[in-house]
Homo-oligomer: A and B are copies of this chain.
Amino acid sequence: MRAEDSDVRMRLLVAAKRLFARQGYDGTSVRQICEEAGANVALVSYYFGGKENMFQALFDTFFPKALIMEFVDRQVDPINGVKELVREVMRFHTTEPELVVLLNQEIALNSPRIDIIRRNAFPIWIKLRELLRQGREDGVFHFRSLDHTMMTVLGNVLFHKQRNYFLPILIGDSNDQEAAIEDSVDFVMRGLQANTDIISQ
């Protein structure tokens, strides 16, 4: 098993990812998933043992555990660490948009699946907290509350996935993804009052 991954199994996962992202977990039926995947209704039970377990399988398959672990273990100074974290997370949003939308829904709903998400995503946010804490200790960042600052930085990084909702009032002057990412990097650095002249890049 792997690579072609039983084919049907992988088709079911891809269909589930797409439909969950579009309609939500509750709003998507096993029947729909199977129709989209061109598979029989009974095969969700056969391959995953139910809709619930399929959700877990979705993360095991598409969440970039290895990338996160590699980033978490890397040793960087706080400034370049936060910069790289902002970049990597924002880029992930364009490589796996459906998974990100699904994540966002489950978090908003505080769903029973939320611990599956936490288990997968928290290592990177703990790394962010540590970078901020270290940066303040080193005197390169300046802020009052670590909690509130972490939420603020996360907002800068993660909120852009709500873009679709605001589309009707956007004017369309931001098509360059990499430029947008660098704008966010700079915005965050200014917000943190980072001494970019100490260690720069």
Name A residues whose Cβ lies closer than 8 Å to a Cβ of B. 22-24, 26-27, 101, 104-105, 107-111, 114, 118, 122, 125-126, 129, 143-152, 154-160, 162-166, 168-174, 179-180, 183-184, 187-188, 190-191, 193
In the complex, the count of this chain's copies comes to 2
Write out the residue numbers on chain B whose beta carbons fall within 8 Å of the beta carbon of A23: 109
Contact A152 B183 (CB under 8 A): yes
- Closest B residue to A126 by CB, please name it: B169
Contact B22 A152 (CB under 8 A): no
Closest Cβ of chain B: how far from A155's Cβ, in Å?
3
Other than the given A125-B166, A143-B183, 16 more pairs (CB < 8 A) read A104-B108, A107-B108, A107-B162, A107-B165, A144-B179, A145-B173, A146-B171, A146-B174, A147-B172, A147-B173, A148-B180, A151-B159, A152-B184, A155-B157, A159-B159, A188-B191
- Closest B residue to A22 by CB, please name it: B110
The one of B111, B122, B144, B156 in contact with A152, judged by C-beta atoms closer than 8 angstroms, is B156
